[in-house]
Amino acid sequence: MPTTTLQTKMAEARAAGRAALVGYLPAGFPDVESSIRVVQAMVEGGCDVIEVGLPYSDPMMDGPTIQRAADMALNSGTTTEDVFRVVEATAATGAAALVMSYWNPIERYGVERFATGLADAGGAGVITPDLIPEEAREWYDASEKAGLDRIFLVAPSSSDRRLALTTEACSGFVYAASLMGVTGTRAQVADTAETLVRRTREVTRDSELPICVGLGISTAAQAAEVAAYADGVIVGAGFCQRILDAPDLETGLIAVRSFAEELAGGVRSR
């Protein structure tokens, strides 16, 4: 498979001696055109990679902030085609564009159709939080054909065997969920995160697959802490919250750009 934009961005960050900054936003939040502008502000502030969320009505790992953002996106009528529009706009910024989606919407849309549509929009890969490698044969074939990275999750509860199985199926990076819980801002990064990254590195040493940490990171100091041992820092709820708190979109864009700048400073300070 040819080198993807995601692989290039992760390699560039590693060559610069820093972690990559990965930002998440549901497509269509607060509406499709506005979500494109929010993504642009995130990239202007320093995000290397953008996870474009496919809004879903029954999320399992999303906390209240992202659930609220996704509900707004669904209420605005966001479709899978709209997700591809946001991906295309994201790719146009120069950032690597990913989709984060639960498996059911992809399966209902059509697995190969989804992979082809995402690749045509300039997407680099997909994060599938509720899909495990043993059940991903159809996705493996479709993503390979479309030239997309596959990103699966590992967690503090993952056995050594599960870590090896999951990382072997990943490309681009492996998503290390820092804790057993849902997304959202927290006062401190879970102490399980560093241990999980260390354990995952033990099974990815030969491939040098990047490891990115998500769930609960909300400040520049936390970003710097995670960047000291991970290859990427993933932030989602903090971006959504700034749009939710803003009295209007323009104010929200300023807050999002400033927040991205703070986080980018954190990942570069290691």
C-alpha–C-alpha distance, residues 232 and 20, integer Å: 4
C-alpha–C-alpha distance, residues 105 and 100, integer Å: 11
CA atoms lying within 13 Å on the CB side of residue 108 = 9
Q: 13, exposed or middle or buried, with CB in 10 Å at 0-12, 13-18, 19+?
A: buried
- To the query of whether residue 250 is one of the catalytic residues in this protein, the response is no
- To the query of whether residue 51 is one of the catalytic residues in this protein, the response is yes
Strands 125-127 and 96-100, bridge-based pairing = parallel
Amino acid code (one letter) for 19: A
* Cβ pair 226, 190 in contact under 8 A: no
The length of the chain in residues reads: 270
**Selected catalytic residue, list 62, 82, 194, 225:** 62
Residues paired with 175 in a beta bridge: 153, 212
List, by residue number, the catalytic residues.
Answer: 51, 62
